[in-house]
Structure 1
């Protein structure tokens, strides 16, 4: 069997223009952005596998095939990416099953997204190599460096992103910024008995550039600090505009007590898809410095 074209696969899937409109043009654009991202980056992987998978007929045969492993992140736009992947699995069920398509979550929300779309949930311990990961961002600059961690899952998100051959951002246009820390503070995950020590070290490292340094509180739902999936706390810091993302990230990481930062210097982000408030979608690939 020859490798099918991406266009032939996409033609068998629902077209966003034929779906019931969502609550706002922005939501429609976020869905369109996620569908485009999934179609452009997952369907080629599927097309390359179909000639091999089409020859298999029993569970025993499928069980020895190397699966496609996909990272699914969190955020209001990624909801639609998981939705599209679930549709692809249903439409191409003669090729895709729970043995050859595995999804790795970045946190509790994305676990639910995976399960609610009837996708198989795996772990990074069993599947350490991902073909592609889809996730949102709190901010994304023209080089596709990102700030993540608004949902306090930054360590898990970074593990998934860096385990993938390609990382794809799906978000709304409010997340597109000229430089990082444009409107967001930098989240850092900190060992839960180290915030005071870390704050003192931050003052030494950044001096007057450190404008804010706060432990993130979880009120009104729960008294006390936010607790991450890794049982650490989150601090949100402001060191001014971040133009050299790698440098600031490395300066933060060398401080004992900081487990990970919400700065994601672009290592493998191939594209970002932004849903615009007018209902359109903008795709951005990394600009050279």
Structure 2
């Protein structure tokens, strides 16, 4: 009984931490003059939409909200917010800000995303925004990607290319990459909103540039030891790969458009506080 109560309390704590982080992120980054807002996928984004809706129609009626998939589309509609689609964003225009979660976040704010199989849409929305803000709970913090998230880097692939992609991943040192299965009890792979498959590719924890620059650790690609940037660059070049669940490179403070990394990451901590991490100079 006591074990069950402890488990329940822990679950409640995690949910409370997500909510706290979401409300703080919205308070800091959703300015009243903004008109185009990206909304990501995942359990933490539920609270982001809740926080936005709590601002009331006097603020939100002037805003349009762009989802990354069916889940965020439903959240936007259920909250009574104005739904719009990224395909309708005029050429040359950007979203003012996008909020999304992550499966894992490292010290340099590189992300693993795609546990919910929406990584391609998530990357399109994030890179369409002037500012991308990540919202998560304390369990998602890691010193290096692949430390806590052991399921692997999600990779969206053409079904016909999946066997070749798996072969190439093994040659690169991936640890038992596999096609993600679909509905439990039914044969076949999970199919994304784009009609593609997801391959999950576990690697050893990914190094940061500072690891190799300081000589603390060196890449050994044949044994699957890669830096984030090098692995991302190699993965996206495999024929048949449509998109990868590594969000890396620059953030929206460094480049005018196309940034994949967040300008800030909000983490709800176990003690009820919110830790905010921003890119190092």
TM-score by length of 2: 0.80
The answer to whether the 8 Å contact 2:41/2:71 transfers is yes
The answer to whether the 8 Å contact 1:142/1:287 transfers is no
Structure 2 regions of 5+ residues with no counterpart?
Answer: 1-9, 208-226, 252-261
Tell me, yes or no, if structure 1 residue 137 matches structure 2 residue 102. Answer: yes
Find the counterpart in structure 2 of residue 149 from structure 1.
Answer: 114
The answer to whether the 8 Å contact 2:170/2:176 transfers is no
C-alpha displacement of 1:180: 0.7
Find the counterpart in structure 1 of residue 222 from structure 2.
Answer: none
Aligned counterpart in structure 1 of residue 29 of structure 2, from 41, 45, 68: 41
C-alpha displacement of 1:266: 4.3
Where do 1:139-218 residues align within 5 Å?
139-184=104-149, 185-204=152-171, 206=172, 209-218=173-182
Aligned counterpart in structure 1 of residue 201 of structure 2, from 234, 237, 240: 237
The structure with the largest strand share of the pair is 1
Compare 264-273 and 228-237 and name the one that shifted more.
264-273
Structure 1 regions of 5+ residues with no counterpart?
Answer: 1-21, 50-66
3-state SS of paired residue (2:54): helix
3-state SS of paired residue (2:198): strand
C-alpha displacement of 1:211: 1.6
Give me the whole-angstrom Cα distance separating, in 2, the residues matched to 1:150 and 1:200: 22
C-alpha displacement of 1:201: 2.4
Tell me, yes or no, if structure 1 residue 70 matches structure 2 residue 37. Answer: yes
Query: What is the total number of aligned residue pairs between the two structures?
Result: 239
Deviation readout 1:94-149 (Å, 9 max, x if unpaired):
x542xx31101111111111111111111112125211100000000111110000
Find the counterpart in structure 2 of residue 287 from structure 1.
Answer: 280
Give me the whole-angstrom Cα distance separating, in 1, the residues matched to 2:118 and 2:204: 23
The answer to whether the 8 Å contact 1:70/1:133 transfers is yes
The answer to whether the 8 Å contact 1:26/1:278 transfers is no
Tell me, yes or no, if structure 1 residue 25 matches structure 2 residue 13. Answer: yes
Runs of 4+ deviating beyond 3 Å: none
> What is the Cα-based RMSD across aligned positions, in Å?
1.9
Question: Are the structure 2 counterparts of residues 254 and 23 from structure 1 closer, same or farther at C-alpha, using a change threshold of 3 Å?
Answer: closer
Give me the whole-angstrom Cα distance separating, in 2, the residues matched to 1:203 and 1:34: 38
Q: Which has the larger Rg?
A: 1
Compare 153-162 and 263-272 and name the one that shifted more.
263-272
Question: Are the structure 2 counterparts of residues 215 and 279 from structure 1 closer, same or farther at C-alpha, using a change threshold of 3 Å?
Answer: same
